[in-house]
Amino acid sequence: MALPLKYNFRNVLVRWRATLATMLGIALLVAVYVLVQALAVGLQKSASNTGDPRNVMIVRKGSTAESSSQVSLAQLQTIRYWPQIAHDEQGVPILSADVITLISQPRIDGRGEANVSVRGLTPAGRQLRPQVKLISGRWFTPGQREVTVSGKMARRFAGFQVGDTFRTAGNTLTVVGEFDGGSSAFDSEVWMDADEARSLFDRENYSSLLVRVTDPAAVQAITARIENDKRLPLRSETEVKYYSDQTATALPIRILGNFLATAMSVGAVFAAMNTMYASVGARTREIGTLRVLGFRRRSVLAGFILEGALLAAIGGALGCLLALPLDGYSTGTMSFNSFSETVFEFRITPWLATKGMIFSIIVGVIGSLLPALRASRLPVIAALKSV
């Protein structure tokens, strides 16, 4: 016969003074675990929000970042009229030739500088990226030294407010608007006209091409055609695939997260053990009574493990709640792929919260295993006699 759940639950509550610290400890452990993993999730979300399955990205073969890729004007002319590329109402191919340049900009808090990605795009560029929406001011005018910046970057760098000007490459650029990248990789960019960018940064070539395909089969056709044409030292893949490969920055964050989780959970297991041993010690007579009433050793064992798990689960739930306010909070670091500032958000998904809960329960079960074994092995008569 199993011990009633209520018994364990009430015990956790009655002994709250002794269990509170352990519970809070587990809560903080889970909060840290969830938050660090939320960063990695945020980075991946940012990548997965970026691609459109109908778009194909074309970059130089061998380049790992758009900023180090080059596509020449001749290559652009060759590809522009391929039949696999969709056309708009006016019959113009939906294709954007972009120029990516990194510029070093001072941070808004005055603490040093960081590289910012500036994307120069041709008119179809915005049409190809519908998730990017203007939130204030206006879009840059082609042929003008104007930029529209991501709102998230405007809050991180000096001179990026609407109406501000900043100097780069010997010229002055005016910020005319702010856009929202819809939590995509474009949130980390500054946009301007492609040809302006080429003349400003003295670039002969474009960095990449983004094209809209007519149908899913056309993706294969374009890839095969580029692969077979020896005059084109290029590589193409869907925009979705391209960005999903750009998450190398998440690796160190995951390493940090796993290291923290391991080390902190060892500490938490010790704390849980201490609490549960004390709990068993204080209830020796109670356990004896339970045994006399006919509860089996294994019921007592299960009961105490359940109690430890329960205690940890409450801590885990508390930890998830503690982490929750940071959901959606945006932060930034240097991306190892693009070598520039990448902004992304803490993303606490239901699955991540579940993982946090499972993690806390595992800590609870491991921590209560030995104390529970001890409880189940108490000799009945001696236990009853103890003070």
Asked whether position 277 contacts other proteins by CB under 8 A, the answer is yes
Rounded to the nearest whole angstrom, what is the least distance from the CB of residue 22 to other proteins in the complex? 7
Q: Check binding of 74 to other proteins (CB under 8 A).
A: no
Q: Tell me which DSSP letter residue 93 carries.
A: B
Query: Could you tell me which stretch among 43-51, 55-63, 89-97, 128-136 binds other proteins (CB under 8 A)?
Result: 55-63
Q: How far apart are CA 337 and CA 66, in angstroms?
A: 9
Look at the block and give the residue holding tokens 């903080």. Answer: 28
Told to check if 36 binds other proteins by CB under 8 A, we report yes
What is d(CA 294, CA 162) in angstroms, rounded to the nearest whole number?
Answer: 76
| Residue among 150, 156, 101 nearest 339 (CA) | 101
Contact status: 29 vs other proteins (CB under 8 A)? yes
Residue 137, SS3? Answer: strand
To the nearest whole angstrom, how small is the minimum distance from the Cβ of residue 158 to other proteins?
13
Instruction: Count how many Cα atoms sit within 13 Å of the Cα of residue 368 in the half-sphere of its side chain.
Output: 30
Q: Which residues, 6 or more positions from 233, have their beta carbon under 8 angstroms from its beta carbon?
A: 60, 61
Stretch that binds other proteins, among 26-34, 90-98, 214-222, 297-305 (CB under 8 A): 26-34
Check residue 201 for interaction with other proteins (CB under 8 A). Answer: yes
- Give yes or no for residue 22 binding other proteins (CB under 8 A): yes
* Contact yes or no for 102/67 (Cβ under 8 A): yes
CA angle 128, 132, 135 (to 5 degrees): 145
Residue 41 beta carbon to other proteins: minimum distance, rounded to whole angstroms: 15
CA-wise closest residue to 363 among 267, 299, 281, 256: 267
| Distance in Å, CB of 214 to other proteins, minimum | 30
Identity of the amino acid at 229: D
Q: Pick from 80, 107, 235, 297 the residue near other proteins by CB under 8 A.
A: 107
Position 32 contacts other proteins (CB under 8 A): yes
Q: How far is the CB of 357 from other proteins (least distance, A)?
A: 18
Position among 266, 292, 358, 382 found at the interface with other proteins (CB under 8 A): 266
Comparing CB distances to other proteins, the nearer of 86 and 365 is 365
**CB contact set of 199 (below 8 Å; sequence gap of 6+):** none
Q: Does 292 bind other proteins (CB under 8 A)?
A: no
Stretch that binds other proteins, among 120-128, 144-152, 273-281, 351-359 (CB under 8 A): 273-281
All residues at 6 or more sequence positions from 236 whose CB lies less than 8 Å from its CB, including other chains: 56, 57, 58, 59, 222, 223, 226
Total of residues contacting other proteins (CB under 8 A): 65
Residue 114 engages other proteins in binding (rule: CB under 8 A): yes
Alpha helices in 208-349 (DSSP H): 216-228, 239-244, 250-282, 284-292, 297-323
- Asked if 252 touches other proteins (CB under 8 A), the answer is yes
Q: Is 244 in the site for other proteins (CB under 8 A)?
A: no
* Interface residue list for other proteins (CB under 8 A): 18, 20-22, 24-25, 28-29, 31-32, 36, 39, 60-65, 67-68, 70, 101-104, 107, 111-115, 168-170, 201-202, 233, 248, 251-252, 255-256, 259-260, 263-264, 266-267, 270-271, 273-275, 277-278, 281-282, 331-334, 336, 339, 341, 387
